Amino acid sequence: SAAPPTYSDARFLRLERALLAMPKDLREMIRWRRFDGLSSQEVAARTHRSDAAVRQQYSRAMARLTLLLHEAT
């Protein structure tokens, strides 16, 4: 069986460092939405927030991650 494709070590390390530099609530938002594939409604139920609040926080989290990744280059 073929091995799954992997990211370059440098890209993975940049992503990992950027995520660890973020506040826990923003990091969790990215994990739940991007890595766990939860909908904004599912995250809202999990965090006892409105769907609109979750979508706004996710947008802020992705903006922060993008900024951190650009600063790391």
pLDDT at 1: 59
- Mean of pLDDT values over 5-10: 68
DSSP the chain: -PPPP---HHHHHHHHHHHHTS-HHHHHHHIIIIIS---HHHHHHHHT--HHHHHHHHHHHHHHHHHHHHHT-
Q: What are phi and psi of 21, to 5 degrees?
A: -80, -10
pLDDT at 11: 84
pLDDT at 66: 95
pTM of the model: 0.81
Model pLDDT for residues 20-38, shown as the tens digit of each residue: 999 999 999 999 999 999 9
pLDDT at 62: 97
